[in-house]
Amino acid sequence: MTESIKLIAGNWKMNGVGESLEEAAALRVSLDAEAANCRVALCPPATLIERMSATVGGSAIEVGGQDCHAAASGAFTGSVSAEMLADAGANLVILGHSERRTGFGETNADVAAKVEAALAAGLEPIICVGETLEQREAGEAVAVVSEQVMQSLPQSLSCNAFAVAYEPVWAIGTGLTPTLEQIEEVHVAVRAAIVARLGAGGEKAPILYGGSVKPSNAKEILNVKEVGGALVGGASLKAEDFLGIIRAV
């Protein structure tokens, strides 16, 4: 069982312009008044990282990117490096989200290379794994997710801060969630895979659950064995919803 403090991270995906920072400002006001019982992070689009950092600077809210390139710099039009995210104020970065694995063809090896880049820039990676509905129905969820963990986590992680996020692809943005037993089964398997890969260095990293987390289901999910936090998409866009999840810790 993880001893780490829980991490509640909001993934804004490709949502948000300058005025959306009002939600981050509102969250900040609330968390300045009532300290959260967990770490809290917001991962806006890259264009907002610097302004988000200014908005929440000096508060307990951390800022993360949603992806980075594996290279430190160079001729990669349209891409953002880990160093650029750090320079803009991020201390975290989501890597290997299923929307990048499916939509942009990212492999486990690509994700592992990005993790190395994130570590080199001093960022804490949140490495996402998760099975498709087809794989779940074929009884392959544990095997698929364990394999993703083994292949996406480079050995260099063991002395660094990082998190893994288990996000069943079929639960993302659908309102569907696995049963608590299914969440526990996969989280326990993820822990075993992290430790198999990294040894003792993998015993404490938080394993977040992601996929349709909302204020009404957060408490029961966060109480499941080996659930070390949540990666929240839709419900992180509004301060009030995100606060409802933070308060469930």
Which of 213, 222, 248, 249: binder of ligand PGA (CB under 6 A)? 213
**The one catalytic residue among 62, 69, 83, 97:** 97
Q: Is 229 in the site for ligand PGA (CB under 6 A)?
A: no
Name the residue nearer to ligand PGA (CB basis): 83 or 114.
Answer: 114
Q: Which two tokens stand for residue 141?
A: 């969820």
Which residue in the set 40, 149, 172, 183 belongs to the binding site for ligand PGA (CB under 6 A)? 172
Positive or negative: CA dihedral 110, 3, 65, 188: positive
Tell me how far apart the alpha carbons of residues 66 and 85 are, in angstroms, rounded to a whole number. Answer: 10
Stretches 23-31, 182-190, 193-201, 227-235: which one binds ligand PGA (CB under 6 A)? 227-235
For residue 244, the tally of other CB atoms under 10 A from its CB is: 16
Establish whether 97 is a catalytic residue: yes
Instruction: Tell me the window of 14-22, 44-52, 186-194, 228-236 that interacts with ligand PGA (CB under 6 A).
Output: 228-236
User: Which amino acid belongs to residue 17?
Assistant: V
Whether 167 sits among the annotated catalytic residues: the reply is yes
- Reduced to 3 states, what is the DSSP secondary structure of residue 14? coil
Binding mask 116-155 for ligand PGA (x = CB under 6 A): ----------------------------------------
Report the Cα–Cα distance between both ends of the chain, in Å, rounded. Answer: 16
**Residue 211 touching ligand PGA (CB under 6 A):** yes
For tokens 């998190």, name the residue.
163
Residue 106 binds ligand PGA, judged by CB under 6 A: no
CB 195 within 8 A of CB 202: yes
| Residue 228 · residue 2 · CB < 8 Å | yes
210 binds ligand PGA (CB under 6 A): yes
Q: Which residue is nearest to ligand PGA (CB)?
A: 233
Tell me the residue type at 112.
A
DSSP, res 39:
E
Please tell me whether residue 96 binds ligand PGA under the rule CB under 6 A.
Answer: no
* Site residues for ligand PGA per CB under 6 A: 11, 167, 172-173, 210-213, 231-235
